[in-house]
């Protein structure tokens, strides 16, 4: 038990102690951003890697969480008055939808409950009809596209294409301050650690075994007396909740939420990251999100658009040569050394 | 215990089942035979909810089965195996059995880890002789062992009625004998329906036999009665060549 948790403990020490001491503030908040994506990746690893549900629309849940948080931040700054972008769009009265988000507890609850609820409704409809495989993937991708259209269309309610930005403080702390960003980083890292352990527990539980069984033989599971639609819906809802929470953390860290951050492309990029890291191991999914996030920043700084080609090439390489991703390669190396 | 009345199944105009009546009593071991295309597997599919009949009734222990979902029928106590055995290859033998045994537990209670081995699972392991392989992944099992694991998974669910679809197909002589033995043991305390092609297996292990032909029940009786029946001989051996050519 102790030996098994040793790598986790080592990484936790590096992430919680070494990184804040060694990294300059700008790099530390970039790392915090990658860790937010890693929380989404955790959900993709669970739904896709363990449950076989290729979800190409996690950005939708991420966005719901992000917008819920952004609404709270905007309202807390305007002191209950109209947020800046509404004034620019000519809105005169605070929309009824917005009002309850002045309460941080409500906003944070909705950041998770909203995505979970949407996933439950969607999962119930879709999985009962035995929609799966590519059809499910296409459906979730369409959802991401529709979400963007919806957000862009409701300029006065959502900030349209620009989304929401210019956040100055969170619970009274100055968001531009390095120490606030350091605390935010620690919160994100801590949340990721706890969620990782909880998700790992779920994967190792009987439910996790059942999920793998559903992935590999849905019909057989049915004849064992289980309802695969329920198992999949629950799993999909958990992954949606993770993405929602990640979105809520992302907004104060990065300082913006907009349709471009949650559409088809970012949703796909996260799936690619999970594939590169190794979808069948949760740690692989987390690793993939951090590595790909870091690579994106580094390469974009040097070659601007070259990153997109590199990302595509990497995805093809992983899919053809190492379908189990970085985690698979590491696992093989470790086995080769002990053997 | 199980009662089918005038069950009809039509696939694209083809009458897979054309008015089948079948009654199986509590504790019975019934063999279901018939040439290819006679409707044996379709009959099992109808009982377990995989295929919905166009007409007819299926009653099991006071419940109407037609229109119920597959997993609901399993929960009423009807378990089945498939011709091509499906076990979960990434799970161990023990995990496969444990998963089968937990099917009545509420989903949230599965969020905990498995601790120890439940009685039902231990019993299934012992009966199928898979104890030495409990910790191995099911993917490494031989064909025969897979079939036994499938039967073990059924047993772990403690069903009232077991439906086995060609359990000895593709097995070696030894494996057949082991399966026959297992079947005899299971039949002691379960109601079992076995679909089987293998005539030798039938002679050794069957008592009551129902012969299906072209979607209807042709004959029912003991092995001796059935194999002496001229209609059965005709169906299986094609005694009247004129008929055989016509089909």
Specify burial of residue A335 (Cβ count, 10 A radius: 0-12, 13-18, 19+): exposed
Among the listed residues B211, B225, B184, B159, the one whose alpha carbon sits nearest the alpha carbon of residue B22: B211
Nearest to B107 among A209, A217, A230 (CB): A230
| pLDDT recorded at residue B247 | 36
| pLDDT recorded at residue A88 | 83
Residue numbers in chain B where pLDDT is lower than 70: 237-247
Q: What was the ipTM of the complex prediction? A: 0.82
Q: Rounded to whole angstroms, how far apart are CA atoms A222 and A205?
A: 19
Among the listed residues B116, B192, B208, the one whose alpha carbon sits nearest the alpha carbon of residue B154: B192
Q: Are A288 and A48 in contact (CB under 8 A)?
A: no
Nearest to A205 among B70, B111, B157 (CB): B111
b/e sequence B153-183, b meaning 16+ C-beta within 10 Å: bbbbbbbebbbbbbbbbebeeebbebbbebb
- A 224-253 → B contacts, CB under 8 A: 224-227, 230-231, 234
Please report whether residue B105 resides in a domain: no
Closest approach of A286 to chain B, Cα-based (Å): 22
Q: B103, A226: Cβ pair inside 8 Å?
A: yes
Q: A223, B48: Cβ pair inside 8 Å?
A: yes
Q: Rounded to whole angstroms, how far apart are CA atoms A66 and A84?
A: 18
Please report whether residue B197 resides in a domain: yes
Q: Are B72 and B95 in contact (CB under 8 A)?
A: no
Contacts of A222 in chain B (CB under 8 A): 69-71, 74
pLDDT digits (tens, 9 = 90+) for A216-230: 988 889 889 899 999
For residue B187, the domain's CATH number is 3.40.50.300
Q: Which residues pair with A219 in a beta bridge?
A: none
Kindly give the interhelix angle for B143-156 and B173-189, rounded to the nearest 10 degrees. 10
Q: Rounded to whole angstroms, how far apart are CA atoms A156 and A164?
A: 11
b/e sequence B85-124, b meaning 16+ C-beta within 10 Å: bbbbeebbbbbbbbbbbbbeeeeeebeeebeebeebbbbb
Q: What are phi and psi of A96, to 5 degrees?
A: -60, -35
Task: Tally the domains of chain B.
Answer: 1
Contacts of A217 in chain B (CB under 8 A): 86, 88
Cβ of A207 under 8 Å from any chain B Cβ? yes
Nearest to B88 among A204, A217, A219 (CB): A217
Structural domain for B183, as ranges: 2-87+161-246
b/e sequence A140-153, b meaning 16+ C-beta within 10 Å: bbebbbebbeebbe
User: What are B50-53's contacts with CB under 8 Å, separation 24+?
Assistant: B51/B9, B53/B7, B53/B8, B53/B9, B53/B17
Cβ of A197 under 8 Å from any chain B Cβ? no
Q: B91, A213: Cβ pair inside 8 Å?
A: yes
| pLDDT recorded at residue B245 | 39
Q: Are A53 and A45 in contact (CB under 8 A)?
A: no
| pLDDT recorded at residue B238 | 62
Nearest to B110 among A201, A206, A220 (CB): A206
- The bridge status of strand B14-24 relative to strand B2-11 is antiparallel
With vertex at residue B71, the alpha carbon angle to CA B70 and CA B73, rounded to the nearest 5 degrees, is: 70
CB-defined contacts A:B, below 8 A = 74
| pLDDT recorded at residue A300 | 81
Contacts of B152 in chain A (CB under 8 A): none
pLDDT digits (tens, 9 = 90+) for A302-339: 877 778 888 888 888 888 888 888 888 888 888 887 76
Q: A205, B80: Cβ pair inside 8 Å?
A: no
Please report whether residue B119 resides in a domain: no
Contacts of A207 in chain B (CB under 8 A): 107, 110-111
Q: Are A115 and A246 in contact (CB under 8 A)?
A: no
| pLDDT recorded at residue B246 | 37
Please report whether residue B50 resides in a domain: yes
Handedness of CA A69, A75, A79, A80 (dihedral sign): negative
Residue numbers in chain A where pLDDT is lower than 70: 1-4, 339
Q: Please state the domain extents for chain A.
A: 2-257
pLDDT digits (tens, 9 = 90+) for A259-296: 999 989 889 999 999 999 988 899 999 999 999 998 88
| pLDDT recorded at residue A2 | 57
Nearest to A216 among B71, B75, B90 (CB): B90
Handedness of CA A268, A274, A278, A279 (dihedral sign): negative
Q: A225, B74: Cβ pair inside 8 Å?
A: yes
């Amino acid at each position: 038990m102790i030996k098994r948790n040793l790598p986790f403990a080592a990484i936790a020490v590096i992430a919680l102690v070494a990184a804040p001491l060694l990294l300059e503030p700008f790099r530390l908040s970039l790392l915090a951003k990658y860790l937010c994506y890693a929380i989404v990746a955790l959900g993709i690893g669970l739904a896709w890697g363990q449950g076989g549900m290729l979800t190409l629309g996690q950005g939708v849940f991420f966005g719901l969480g992000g917008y819920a948080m952004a609404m709270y931040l905007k309202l807390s700054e305007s002191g209950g008055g109209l947020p800046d972008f509404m004034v620019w769009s000519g809105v005169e009265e605070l929309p009824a939808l917005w009002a309850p988000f002045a309460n941080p507890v409500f906003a944070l609850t909705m950041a998770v409950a909203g995505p979970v609820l949407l996933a439950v409704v969607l999962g119930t409809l879709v999985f009962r009809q035995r929609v799966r495989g590519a059809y499910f993937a296409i459906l979730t991708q369409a959802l991401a596209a529709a979400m963007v259209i919806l957000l862009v269309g409701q300029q006065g309610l959502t900030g349209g294409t620009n989304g929401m930005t210019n956040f100055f403080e969170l619970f009274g702390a100055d968001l531009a301050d390095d120490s606030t960003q350091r605390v935010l980083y620690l919160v994100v890292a801590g949340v990721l650690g706890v969620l990782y352990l909880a998700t790992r527990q779920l994967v190792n539980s009987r439910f996790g075994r059942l999920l793998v069984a559903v992935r590999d033989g849905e019909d057989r599971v049915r004849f064992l007396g289980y309802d695969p639609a329920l198992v999949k819906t629950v799993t999909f809802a958990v992954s949606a909740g993770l993405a929602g929470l990640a979105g809520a953390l992302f907004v104060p860290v990065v300082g913006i939420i907009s349709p471009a951050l949650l559409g088809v492309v970012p949703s796909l990029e996260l799936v690619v990251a999970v594939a590169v890291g190794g979808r069948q191991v949760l740690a692989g999914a987390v690793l993939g999100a951090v590595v790909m996030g870091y690579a994106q920043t580094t390469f974009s700084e040097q070659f601007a658009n070259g990153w997109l080609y590199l990302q595509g090439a990497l995805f093809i390489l992983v899919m053809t040569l190492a379908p189990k991703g970085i985690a698979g390669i590491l696992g093989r190396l470790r086995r080769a050394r002990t053997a | 215990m199980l009662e089918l009345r005038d069950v009809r199944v039509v696939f694209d105009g083809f009458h897979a089942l054309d008015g089948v009546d079948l009654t199986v009593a509590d504790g019975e071991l019934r063999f279901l035979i018939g040439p290819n295309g006679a409707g044996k597997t379709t009959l099992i599919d109808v009982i377990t909810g995989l295929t919905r009949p166009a007409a007819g009734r299926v009653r099991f222990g006071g419940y109407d089965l037609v229109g119920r979902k597959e997993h609901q029928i399993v929960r009423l106590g009807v378990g089945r195996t498939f011709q091509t055995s499906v076990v979960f290859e990434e799970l161990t033998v023990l995990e496969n059995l444990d998963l089968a045994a937990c099917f009545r537990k509420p989903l949230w209670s599965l969020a905990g880890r498995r601790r120890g081995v439940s009685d039902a699972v231990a019993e299934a392991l012992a009966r199928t002789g898979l104890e030495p392989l409990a910790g191995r992944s099911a993917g490494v099992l031989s064909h025969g062992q897979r079939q036994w694991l499938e039967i073990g998974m059924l047993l772990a669910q403690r069903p009232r009625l077991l439906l086995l679809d060609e359990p000895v197909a593709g097995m070696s002589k030894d494996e057949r004998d082991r399966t026959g033995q297992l079947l005899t043991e299971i039949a002691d305390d379960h109601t079992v329906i076995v679909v089987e092609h293998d005539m030798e297996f039938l002679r050794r292990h069957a008592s009551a036999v129902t012969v299906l032909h072209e979607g209807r029940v042709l004959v029912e009786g003991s092995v001796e009665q059935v194999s002496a029946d001229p209609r059965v001989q005709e169906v299986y051996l094609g005694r009247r060549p004129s008929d055989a050519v016509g089909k």
